Amino acid sequence: MTVVVVGSIAFDAVKTPFGEREKMLGGSATHFALAASFFTDVRMVGPVGADFGEDEYGLLRDRNINTDDIEKVEDGETFFWRGHYDYDLNVAHTDDIALNVFGEFQPKLSQRSKDAEMLFLANIQPDLQLEVREQCAAPVLAALDSRDLWIDTAKDALVKAIGAVDLVFMNDAELRMLTGEPNLVRGARAIMAMGPRIVVAKQGEYGAALFTEDGFFALPAYPLESVLDPTGAGDSFAGGFLGYLDAHSGDTEFDDRARRAMTYGSVLASFNVEQFGTERVQSLTLDEINERFAEFHRMTHFDAIPIEAGR
Amino acid sequence: MTVVVVGSIAFDAVKTPFGEREKMLGGSATHFALAASFFTDVRMVGPVGADFGEDEYGLLRDRNINTDDIEKVEDGETFFWRGHYDYDLNVAHTDDIALNVFGEFQPKLSQRSKDAEMLFLANIQPDLQLEVREQCAAPVLAALDSRDLWIDTAKDALVKAIGAVDLVFMNDAELRMLTGEPNLVRGARAIMAMGPRIVVAKQGEYGAALFTEDGFFALPAYPLESVLDPTGAGDSFAGGFLGYLDAHSGDTEFDDRARRAMTYGSVLASFNVEQFGTERVQSLTLDEINERFAEFHRMTHFDAIPIEAGR
- A289 at interface of B, judged by CB pairs closer than 8 A: yes
pLDDT at residue A55, rounded to an integer: 96
Burial of A160 (0-12, 13-18, 19+ CB in 10 A): middle
Instruction: With a cut of 80, say whether residue A96 has pLDDT above it.
Output: yes
Which whole number is the average pLDDT over A293-309?
87
pLDDT band at A197 (very low <50, low <70, confident <90, very high): very high
Burial of B208 (0-12, 13-18, 19+ CB in 10 A): buried
Helix (H, G, I), strand (E, B) or coil at A221: coil
Of B40, B297, B311, the CB nearest to A37: B311
- A209 at interface of B, judged by CB pairs closer than 8 A: yes
pLDDT band at A171 (very low <50, low <70, confident <90, very high): very high
Quote the CA–CA distance of A231 and A280 in Å, as a whole number.
12
What does the CA dihedral A145, A148, A149, A152 come to, rounded to 10 degrees? 120
Q: Which residue would you say has higher pLDDT here, B91 or A9?
A: A9
Helix (H) or strand (E) holding B222: none
Closest listed residue to residue B136, CA positions, set B159, B94, B166:
B166
Closest listed residue to residue B139, CA positions, set B9, B254, B245, B60:
B245
Which whole number is the average pLDDT over A141-157?
96
Q: Which amino acid is at B142?
A: A
pLDDT at residue A249, rounded to an integer: 78
Quote the CA–CA distance of B151 and A3 in Å, as a whole number.
50
**A222 DSSP 8-state letter:** P
Quote the CA–CA distance of A138 and A153 in Å, as a whole number.
29
Closest listed residue to residue B123, CA positions, set B238, B272, B269, B279:
B238
Percent of chain A with pLDDT over 70: 98
**Exposure string (b/e) for A268-284, b if CB count within 10 Å is 16 or more?**
bbbbbbbbbbbbbbeeb
Q: What is the rounded average pLDDT for all residues in chain A?
A: 94
Instruction: Look at A205 and B219 and tell me if their CB atoms are within 8 Å.
Output: no
Of A39, A304, A307, the CB nearest to B297: A304
Tally Cβ neighbours within 10 Å of residue B96: 9
Q: What angle do CA B141, B146, B147 make, to 5 degrees?
A: 160
For residue A159, give how far its alpha carbon lies from the nearest alpha carbon of chain B (Å): 23
Helix (H) or strand (E) holding B73: strand B70-73
Q: Is B27 left (phi over 0), alpha (psi -120 to 50) or beta?
A: left
Lowest mean pLDDT among A34-43, A83-92, A302-311, B48-57: A302-311
Of A203, A248, A311, the CB nearest to B37: A311
Q: Where are the alpha helices (DSSP H) in chain A?
A: 28-36, 54-61, 111-114, 126-135, 148-153, 155-163, 172-179, 184-193, 233-247, 254-272, 279-282, 286-300
Instruction: With a cut of 90, say whether residue A251 has pLDDT above it.
Output: no
pLDDT at residue B151, rounded to an integer: 96
ipTM for the predicted complex: 0.90
Percent of chain A with pLDDT over 90: 86
Quote the CA–CA distance of A266 and A25 in Å, as a whole number.
21
Q: What is the mean pLDDT of each run of 10 residues along chain B (311 residues)?
A: 97 94 97 98 97 97 97 96 87 93 93 97 96 93 95 97 97 93 92 98 94 94 92 97 91 87 98 96 96 96 78 58
Task: State the pTM of this model.
Answer: 0.93
Instruction: Look at A223 and B41 and tell me if their CB atoms are within 8 Å.
Output: no
Instruction: With a cut of 80, say whether residue A210 has pLDDT above it.
Output: yes
Instruction: Look at B184 and A209 and tell me if their CB atoms are within 8 Å.
Output: no
Quote the CA–CA distance of A16 and A85 in Å, as a whole number.
5
